[in-house]
Structure formats: C-alpha cells, structure tokens
Structure 1
C-alpha cells in the first residue's frame, strides 16, 4: 500500500469518526432514581453517552449519601447528633464545612423570618414523631418541656473557627426543613463538574434545575394548590420546594395536625394547605417553604421581601374557606 493510499484511508477513518460523533454524540435524556433521606431522589440529566450519565448519577447520589451521614438526626452517630449531644456543655464544637454551611444558612433564615424557621426544634419534632406513632396527643406539660430546649438564639456560630455552641442542655438540631434542598444543590454541583449543563434533581419535592433540556425553553414543572388548581411552568436555573400535610400529618379527635411544627406553640400547623417557594437557591427554597407555611399569607407578604428573586404560592384554610396568595408568573 503506497503512502497516498494510507493517507486517504486515514482521512476516511477520521471522517467516519466525526460523522459518528455528530450522529451519536448528541445529548440524550437519562433518568435515575434512588431512595435517600427518607424520600425518592430523582435525577434527570442530558448527557452525551451512558457512561457520563451513569457517572453523574453515581457522583450525585454519592454526595447525598455523604451528607446524610453528616446531617441525619435519625442516625445516632451522625455529626449533627454528636453536636447536639454536647449541648449545654459550654464547649464550642468544631464541625465540618458542610454542617457549618447549612447551620449558617438556617440561622440567617431564622433571623430574617423572626423564627418562623428554626432548626433547634428537634426536641419538639422528636416528641411529635413519638406521639404520631403512638396516636397519643402530647400533654401540655410535655410540649412545654420540649419547647424550653428550643430557640435559634441558643445556637451560636463562630465563622472563623467553623464551630458551634449550643447553649442549653438537651437541645437537638433538626435540619429536615432544609436538608433535602441543600442535598439537591450539592448533587447538582457534582453533575456540573462533569460538564453536564442540563440537569434536574428532585429530592422529594425539593427541586433544583439548571439549563433547559436541549432544544427547549425550560423544564416543564407542574405545581398544585393542593386541591383543584394547577400551574404549568417552564423554569430553568432556579429551585423550588413545595410543602404540605398531604401525606405527613397526625389526626387526633378529628383534627389534622401538619408535620410542620409552629415554633411558637410547639404544635403542628392547623390551617396550612400548601406552600411553594421558588428561589435562586435550593436550600433557601426548601427553608422558605417551611417558614412561609408557618407565617401564613399576611406575614409572608412582608417576609418575602427579604429574599430577592423569590416567588411564592401559599394556600391556607381560614374558617370554612380556603385563601390563596401567589406571586408566580405563568
């Protein structure tokens, strides 16, 4: 075979590879789901091939599992439970970057919402979990005793040393109100490291979105008011969280109590129906879905101004009627 013929064959081979890349290298939709943090986590990515998509899923879910080891209040040896165990000791406890970051965010939200969001409600949440399993409404004395161990002002943070002081004995932190949003944000960061630009992580209703799917102008997202109204939105590079007592609640003597506890009374919300918060950040949207649920419509109208770029759809019962307020543009 002469030199010219070899060159011709090489050129043909390169052309075939290029054609294959253009035909088969287009981004395809891949979907993965895994049970994590007590909820289904669903990841959708648009990737060039199976290998990249599968690696993205492994990295994303692996990051969530890593965070669960740190933040789960269900695991005795988790970092957050080890921190809670040192409450009232007078010690500043050094914590990991992840735990400090989420506690720092939570404290900021607590201050801006005047306590409508509070990660120190762990003793009250634990009490209600036990009550729900037993089907017994807690005595007022038990509620009062649990409430004495709460209050976001009792959690102090030292940013320079990344350390935390819990000032009262018996405190227990519970970041269930923003943990999934934080995990979804972190999972998407792992996906982006692989060069994937279009992805969605749905962490049990806490959703983080990046660029739209290829050839579209947004992700198709449907949100409900909890009964008969539905909004179909096209969203991208945004996060949203929806909260409501549809599946998690306690019913006692014909009264339904939400799984979301009012930090003032220590009792599950009675009038909350559904809240959706749409924000630039998944951790904040998760926290605000809880905070706005607690605050109710009138207080939320003032509160939302402290969170630029946030829109909300809030539904609550007022007597025999349902009241709604939303700033979501369709």
Structure 2
C-alpha cells in the first residue's frame, strides 16, 4: 500500500511528464525501461531511460537497478533525519544529537551538500528584512513542531490539527541560525554551536541524488533519460518522438491544488527542455488544516516560524544542476516574486516560472530566458488563471 501511495504521489507531484510516448509499439530505434527504486528520502525514486533497442540484456538491467538503488540508499543513510525504524543513525542524526556538545566526523558528501545549503541561505538574505536569511537549513527544529509529516491534510479523511503553540515556536526560533553551523573541512567535522539545534538537508539532497544518478547513467552510456527523485526532475539528452526522431522533453507543470476532488486541469503549462533539471517548491504539496479551516503550508519563514505569506503559490527552477535547483526553488520562493525574480535574472543559466495568488485569482510569470520554452495552457483562463509573461518588476 505504501509503494502504491508513493507512486501515486510521484504521478501527481510538482512536475508531470507529458508527451514523448516511447513504448515499443512505436517501432523506433529506442526502447523504454522504467526502474522503480527502493524507498529513500521517504519517497520512491523513478528512473525512466530510453536506450537503443537490444542495449539492455537481463544482466545489464539488473546491474543498473542494483547500482541505482545503491546510490540513493547510500545517500539516505547519510542524510535522512527521520526515524528509519531500524535503529540506524545517519551522519546527520549524529550531528543533530551532538549539537552544542561536540563536532561530529562526517563524509565529504555531507560537507559538500551542507556548504551548498549555506550558500543558498546566504543568497536568500533579504534586503528588506534586516538582512536575515529566508532559507535556513536549521529551521528543522521549528519544522518538527509543526509535524507536517504526520499531520498533513487529507481531503478524504478531513483530518484537522491545530498549529503549535506560539510560545513553543518562539522558543525554537532561538535555535535557528545557519551561521552557527561550524564546518571544519581539514578534520571533516560538523558542529552545531547550540544544544538543541538541528539541520535538515532534505530540501537539497534529493537534487544531489538526481545529479548522482545522472552522472552514473552517463557513465553507463545512457544518452536519454528522465530521473524523478521525489519531484526533482532531471533529464539526459533529448526525448524521442513517436517516429523515433529526437524531440525535446516536454514537462508539464502541475496546477496547484489540482486533484480528484476538483475539475482543475492537471497542468497549467508545459516546459520544453533538453539535458536540464526542473524543480518546484509549492504550498500545495504538504499542508495542515486547523479546526477553523485555515491552511498552513510547509515552507516556513525562519523569521517567524510560521508559513510564508507572500502570495507565492509555486516556483519552478530550471537549470543544469539539480542540487542547486533544489536549493534555489525554496530560497527563491521565500524571497517572493519581485526580489526572487531579480535574483533569477542576475544568474546565468537559471530560469524560473512563478505562480502567485492575486485575490481570488492566480497569475503566472516567467523569467526572460524562459519565453521560448514555456507554453501556457490556455484552458487555465477558465479557472481564474492569467499568463502575465516575462516579469517586468513592480
């Protein structure tokens, strides 16, 4: 049941694959193989490759599946901070347990990803909010209070839960400060300066996993693939059209809150890419509902301990490196449309698609470099959506 629900989540996740029907019946030179890997990072990774006919022997396919599982499970054993149920303590668990006590020896990968998370935090320092970071990997101690993992709202069950007490949130906020993460690269240690601090790299490690899977597949001669690590989509090369010719991948961006209980179209737009990654952060993926019907999404503001209230509904980042896209999707979301889009326009090789709420309607904006690759779904106009094109600033 868990695997079915996980697979269903993947299908309904922030980005849906559309187009490029490459089943064997198309009689082209490529065959599709899909690998459903073992659960890691609380999701089931899906790897969809296109290889020349006769490329995969049974032994080769088993080797690929085994190696892919090893990649994601090894990362899970380093970065997962949730109770695994097997008594195993990951490297990050040990770092958190020793906060304010002693430095902990960690692998090179942990330091690498932690440094990237700190870079994203520095990028999110807000000019208009006393130079505080709006993305902070030490927000985990506050996130735990909300317990989104166990309390997220299910329309079928209509399960309601109230937010944590404000006094508890304010106390936990005193432990949120990425500047108190002390990395000693010479001795390969990480130390959290205050007891009770906690880091969670779940918002960036899935992107890193997608990058590692891509690197491995390329080493095995795979030239066309879709990699889905919990909604972090990475691609290798181009897709394949029904006639066997190369065609760019067409990735559908999921309409926020679309689902079986409403008539919203499943995608509000399509993004055309080759050999790039696309990662989305949105408020509709996991949220709780209180007894009064108020929604609280899972992207928390490190300044307040409460969900961001900046009218941003979703941000999709398109670039070459999935780990960086993962970090950016959250930090750019936190900055909001105006400041976030200015950050995007200042970076080479990075594009964005924003969905923002305006009263009871929704507006879609894109960065300047996305205009030739984003196709808006005109049917959304019937659902109080409007495509505003390239964002020009306030």
**Do the structures match in fold with TM over 0.5?**
yes
Sort the TM-score into its range (normalised by shorter chain). 0.7 to 0.9
> How far apart are residue 26 of structure 1 and its match?
5.2
Taking CA–CA contacts closer than 8 Å with sequence separation of 6 or more, which of the two structures ends up with the larger relative contact order? 2
Q: Which residue of 1 aligns with 2:316?
A: 276
Q: In 1, are the aligned partners of 2:277 and 2:322 still within 8 Å (CA)?
A: yes
Q: In 2, are the aligned partners of 1:181 and 1:286 still within 8 Å (CA)?
A: yes
Q: In 1, are the aligned partners of 2:210 and 2:229 still within 8 Å (CA)?
A: yes
Q: Which residue of 2 aligns with 1:212?
A: 238
Distance in 1 separating the partners of 2:204 and 2:237: 23
Distance in 2 separating the partners of 1:57 and 1:218: 26
> How far apart are residue 254 of structure 1 and its match?
2.0
1:265-289 superposed Cα distances (whole Å, 9 cap, x missing partner): 1112343322111111001111111
Distance in 2 separating the partners of 1:280 and 1:203: 16
> How far apart are residue 220 of structure 1 and its match?
2.1
RMSD of equivalent CA atoms: 2.3
> How far apart are residue 118 of structure 1 and its match?
1.4
> How far apart are residue 297 of structure 1 and its match?
0.3
Q: In 1, are the aligned partners of 2:207 and 2:326 still within 8 Å (CA)?
A: yes
Q: In 2, are the aligned partners of 1:225 and 1:315 still within 8 Å (CA)?
A: no
1:205-260 superposed Cα distances (whole Å, 9 cap, x missing partner): 10111111353132221114526662223312211111223241011222211111
SS in 2 for 1:237: coil
Q: In 2, are the aligned partners of 1:40 and 1:203 still within 8 Å (CA)?
A: yes
Q: Which residue of 1 aligns with 2:155?
A: none
SS in 1 for 2:289: strand
SS in 2 for 1:39: coil
Q: Which residue of 2 aligns with 1:8?
A: none
> How far apart are residue 320 of structure 1 and its match?
3.5
Q: In 2, are the aligned partners of 1:273 and 1:317 still within 8 Å (CA)?
A: yes
Question: Which structure is higher in helix share?
Answer: 1
Distance in 1 separating the partners of 2:149 and 2:330: 21
Q: Which residue of 2 aligns with 1:111?
A: 122
Deviates more, 1:239-248 or 1:116-125: 239-248
The count of residues paired between Structure 1 and Structure 2 equals 306
Task: Specify which of 128, 131, 141 is matched with residue 123 of structure 1.
Answer: 141
Task: Specify which of 13, 28, 32 is matched with residue 29 of structure 1.
Answer: 32
1:78-108 superposed Cα distances (whole Å, 9 cap, x missing partner): 110101111112x433210121111011111
Q: Which residue of 2 aligns with 1:187?
A: 213
Task: Specify which of 248, 257, 273 is matched with residue 286 of structure 2.
Answer: 248
The TM-score normalised by the length of structure 2 is: 0.72
SS in 2 for 1:32: strand
The TM-score normalised by the length of structure 1 is: 0.85
Is structure 2 residue 42 aligned with structure 1 residue 38? yes
Larger radius of gyration: 1
1:283-309 superposed Cα distances (whole Å, 9 cap, x missing partner): 111111111222210120222245421
Distance change >3 Å, CA 323–CA 219, structure 1 → 2:
closer
Q: Which residue of 1 aligns with 2:161?
A: 135
Segments of 5+ residues of structure 2 without an aligned counterpart are 1-26, 126-132, 152-159, 257-263, 374-394
Q: Which residue of 1 aligns with 2:203?
A: 177
Q: In 1, are the aligned partners of 2:276 and 2:319 still within 8 Å (CA)?
A: yes
